[in-house]
């Protein structure tokens, strides 16, 4: 971590903040603003960290936003992201050589692969220079942040969570938020679909406690590896060896059988009693909403070890764009070759950060036959972490670059008809709040691999169309039309909701000559002229089995907050919002320098 900080300084990618700031809201709010700047702002190092509530002053600094730009990602990887993807492609397509030179070349390549595998050391590591055991364990000695006002407490947000199967044959490295309950207990947010949760089930059935070691810091690549979507049972640290060309060097934890990298900054060791669950949350998550209080496993901490001069690593989540935008970019590029093994006719894919990644995927493919895109949809929804994707748009090989949103949107809308839609059900991320029940809900696929014949509607101006809409929907407040030059303009209508929006959609039947796609949003907290945040809001708030309406050539989406008018019985979470007094305090200290137009654009 020290070398990383020096590397960032050398490349003018680090902002050092020496003013005293609180772990409660102040530090994370400033990091939240930094990543909203052009190109992700700078990495941040907070050197004067306090907990005003307890009066504690921490000796160690807090580092944030390390991965928060394309440039910094490649600095931390030590190579281009494309070169890692190319190496995976080469491994996947390795064939028996036919010549002696080919055999020698392959032997050399295979020999170099020995560095992929983590190496266990017999000695202790730098991460164990300082030890706290038994009654000396105290999580409050660490500068753990409370990011949002409604959070259930402080959360470790960049913990590398090391676990193993009951028989010890499989190990896993994952990243899960960890709630600090008290001095020696952590809440483990192991979503039911994750590898650690599978291991937990094994220990629970055996009636045994489960060992866990949580590392923080060290080489930032360990942290990225914890997010890598590798198949079940594959050690994520193999990616470290592949990328760095040297093995991760591991040491055994003091009180658990688990091995962790010897050069991390902190290690929190402990055991999970599989018979105990505790309420975890709320937590303002990367969806931009709070995830609600739910029971999760609890870890009793048996030891905390650290370097003599550690650096605490954290991230901030909430509304996009976030640091995960850049981490997700690297992940998408690197794992594209592996995804192609499941879908060989896939040419490219992209998950926009303002849809929270799993809420929308754009995929370019080579269609070979009728229904090929639907086959792809099933492949995606059954492939590892891709199975959590809610909405997928499939395009042919002639489509524009997937990151060129304006041109791409026009291409999609000129080829779309209601026949392009495909609705099914499947598993959802535990963070999803819009489905009628947790963990399962609607999936929407859109096939525009072939152009459909469609006549453009008659165009009215926004003001005239709004007047016409208000005649049939009195609760309509405002209206704006996007992509008017295409065959399927998108009409966004803000409403003060007083009835189920399907009734409003049906009331628009007489205006069908002027409307093709209509999207309803609540008037409160939405800016209908801000497409970036409308994508965020709508992809978060819809379930395709409930909120998609079709009548002739007209398609409707209900992106409003759901309640009893919709037969919705779950609790609907609040948006993640900055605390105004904290922002004003940071401004008064001369630290908050985010432009007002960005504050407004990203609805902080």
Give the whole-angstrom CA distance, residue 28 versus residue 317. Answer: 9
Which residues in 222-326 belong to E strands, given as ranges? 249-252, 259-261, 266-280, 283-284, 290-291, 294-306, 312-314
Q: CATH number for the domain including 59?
A: 2.30.110.10
Domain boundary among 314, 343, 378: 314
111 within domain boundaries: no
433 lies in the same domain as 384: yes
Residue with tokens 């009195």: 474
Give the whole-angstrom CA distance, residue 495 versus residue 528. Answer: 11
296 lies in the same domain as 374: no
User: Pick from 177, 185, 188: which is nearest to 147 by CA?
Assistant: 177
pLDDT tier at 453 (50, 70, 90 boundaries)?
confident
Rg (CA), the chain: 25
Q: What angle do CA 53, 582, 42 make, to 5 degrees?
A: 105
User: Pick from 229, 295, 577, 569: which is nearest to 433 by CA?
Assistant: 569
483 lies in the same domain as 541: yes
184 lies in the same domain as 121: yes
CB 400 within 8 A of CB 415: no
pLDDT tier at 465 (50, 70, 90 boundaries)?
very high
DSSP state of 203: H
What's the pLDDT at 87? 79
What's the pLDDT at 99? 62
Phi, psi angles (nearest 5°) of residue 539: -65, -25
CB 347 within 8 A of CB 395: no
189 lies in the same domain as 142: yes
DSSP string of 118-130, one letter each residue: -EE-SS--GGGSE
309 within domain boundaries: yes
583 within domain boundaries: no
Domain boundary among 269, 288, 314: 314
Q: Which domain holds residue 560?
A: 462-566
Give the whole-angstrom CA distance, residue 189 versus residue 196. Answer: 10
Q: CATH number for the domain including 417?
A: 3.40.1670.10
216 within domain boundaries: yes
Run of H or E including 46:
strand 43-46
pLDDT tier at 535 (50, 70, 90 boundaries)?
very high
16 lies in the same domain as 139: yes
Give the whole-angstrom CA distance, residue 494 versus residue 485. Answer: 22
Distances (CA, A) of 193 to 298, 338, 436: 18, 20, 19
> Could you read off the pLDDT of 296-307 as tens digits, one per residue?
999 999 999 999
CB 259 within 8 A of CB 123: no
Which has the higher per-residue pLDDT, 5 or 109?
5
379 lies in the same domain as 399: yes
The two tokens of residue 439 are: 């963990």
159 lies in the same domain as 299: yes
382 lies in the same domain as 409: yes
> Could you read off the pLDDT of 199-231 as tens digits, one per residue?
889 999 999 999 999 999 999 999 999 998 877
CB 295 within 8 A of CB 280: yes
pLDDT tier at 115 (50, 70, 90 boundaries)?
confident
377 lies in the same domain as 486: no
The two tokens of residue 319 are: 């509304």
User: Pick from 176, 166, 162: which is nearest to 120 by CA?
Assistant: 162
CB 313 within 8 A of CB 66: yes
User: For residue 600, what are the contacts with CB-CB under 8 A and spacing of at least 6?
Assistant: 527
Give the whole-angstrom CA distance, residue 116 versus residue 359. Answer: 33
What's the pLDDT at 508? 96
For 103, the 3-state DSSP assignment is helix
592 within domain boundaries: no
165 within domain boundaries: yes
Give the whole-angstrom CA distance, residue 469 versus residue 383. Answer: 43
415 lies in the same domain as 470: no
**pTM as predicted:** 0.92
Strand partners, 556: 518, 549
Whether the pLDDT of residue 106 is over 50: the answer is: no
497 within domain boundaries: yes
413 within domain boundaries: yes
Burial 202-218 (b: 16+ CB within 10 A, else e): bbbeeeebbbbbbbbbb
Q: Report the number of distinct structural domains present in the chain.
A: 3
Give the whole-angstrom CA distance, residue 534 versus residue 527. Answer: 8
Which residues in 421-541 belong to E strands, given as ranges? 421-427, 440-448, 476-482, 490-495, 517-522
> Could you read off the pLDDT of 387-442 as tens digits, one per residue?
889 999 999 999 999 999 999 999 999 999 999 999 999 988 888 999 999 989 99
CB 42 within 8 A of CB 66: no
Distance from first CA to last CA of the chain, Å, rounded?
A: 30
DSSP string of 444-467, one letter each residue: EEEEESS----PPPPP--HHHHHH
User: For residue 337, what are the contacts with CB-CB under 8 A and spacing of at least 6?
Assistant: 85, 88, 89, 92
Q: Is the dihedral of CA 38, 40, 46, 49 positive or negative?
A: positive
Give the whole-angstrom CA distance, residue 439 versus residue 89. Answer: 33
The two tokens of residue 294 are: 């739910």
Whether the pLDDT of residue 447 is over 90: the answer is: yes
Strand partners, 442: 425
Q: Which range has the worst mean pLDDT, 105-119, 416-430, 556-570?
A: 105-119
476 lies in the same domain as 329: no
């Amino acid at each position: 971590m020290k070398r990383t900080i020096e590397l960032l300084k050398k490349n003018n990618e680090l902002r050092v903040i020496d003013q005293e700031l609180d772990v409660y809201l102040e530090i994370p709010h400033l990091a939240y603003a930094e990543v909203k700047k052009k190109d992700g702002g700078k990495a941040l190092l907070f050197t004067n960290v306090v907990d005003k509530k307890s009066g504690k002053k921490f000796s160690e600094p807090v580092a944030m936003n390390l991965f928060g730009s394309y440039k910094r990602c490649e600095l931390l990887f030590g190579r281009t992201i494309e070169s890692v993807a190319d190496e995976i492609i080469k491994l996947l397509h390795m064939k028996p050589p036919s010549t002696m030179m080919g055999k020698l070349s392959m032997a050399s390549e295979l020999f170099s692969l020995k560095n992929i595998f983590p190496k266990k050391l017999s000695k202790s590591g730098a991460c164990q220079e300082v030890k706290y055991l038994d009654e000396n364990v105290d999580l409050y000695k660490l500068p753990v942040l409370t990011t949002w006002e409604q959070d259930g407490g402080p959360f470790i947000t960049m913990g590398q969570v090391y676990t193993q199967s009951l028989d010890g044959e499989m190990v896993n490295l994952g990243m899960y938020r960890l709630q600090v309950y008290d001095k020696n207990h952590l809440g483990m947010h192991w979503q039911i679909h994750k590898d650690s949760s599978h291991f937990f089930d094994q220990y629970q059935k055996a009636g045994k406690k489960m060992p866990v070691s949580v590392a923080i810091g060290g080489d930032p690549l360990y942290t990225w590896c914890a997010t890598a979507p590798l198949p079940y049972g594959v050690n994520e640290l193999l990616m470290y060896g592949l990328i760095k060309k040297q093995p991760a060097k591991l040491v055994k934890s003091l009180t658990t059988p688990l091995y962790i990298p010897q050069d991390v900054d902190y290690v929190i060791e402990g055991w999970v009693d599989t018979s105990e669950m505790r309420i975890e949350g709320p937590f303002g998550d990367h969806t931009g909403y709070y995830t609600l209080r739910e029971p999760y496993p609890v870890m009793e901490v048996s030891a905390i070890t650290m370097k003599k001069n550690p650096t605490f690593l954290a991230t901030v989540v909430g509304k996009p764009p976030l640091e995960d935008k850049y981490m997700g970019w690297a992940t998408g590029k690197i794992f594209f070759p592996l995804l192609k093994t499941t879908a060989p006719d896939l040419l490219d894919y992209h998950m926009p950060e303002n849809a929270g990644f799993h809420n929308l995927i754009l995929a370019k493919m080579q269609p070979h036959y009728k229904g090929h895109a639907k086959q792809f949809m099933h492949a995606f929804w059954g492939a590892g972490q891709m199975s959590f994707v809610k909405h997928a748009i499939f395009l042919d090989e002639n489509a524009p670059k997937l990151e060129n949103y304006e041109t791409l949107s026009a291409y999609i809308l000129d080829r779309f008809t209601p026949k392009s839609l495909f609705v099914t059900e499947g598993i959802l991320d535990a963070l999803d709040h819009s489905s009628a029940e947790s963990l399962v809900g609607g999936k929407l696929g859109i096939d525009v691999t072939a152009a459909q014949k469609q006549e453009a509607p008659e165009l009215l101006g926004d003001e005239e169309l709004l007047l016409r809409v208000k005649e049939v929907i009195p609760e309509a407040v405002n209206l704006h039309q996007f992509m008017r030059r295409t065959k399927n303009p998108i009409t966004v209508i803000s409403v003060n909701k007083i009835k189920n929006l399907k009734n409003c959609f049906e009331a628009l039947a007489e205006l069908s000559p002027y409307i093709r796609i209509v999207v309803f949003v609540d008037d409160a907290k939405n800016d209908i002229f801000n497409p970036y945040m409308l994508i965020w809001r709508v992809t978060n708030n819809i379930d395709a089995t409930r909120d998609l309406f079709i009548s002739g050539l007209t398609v409707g989406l209900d992106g409003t907050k759901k309640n009893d008018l919709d037969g919705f019985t779950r609790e609907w979470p609040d948006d993640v919002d900055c605390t105004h007094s904290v922002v004003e305090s940071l401004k008064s200290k001369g630290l908050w320098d985010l432009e007002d137009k960005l504050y407004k654009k990203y609805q902080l």
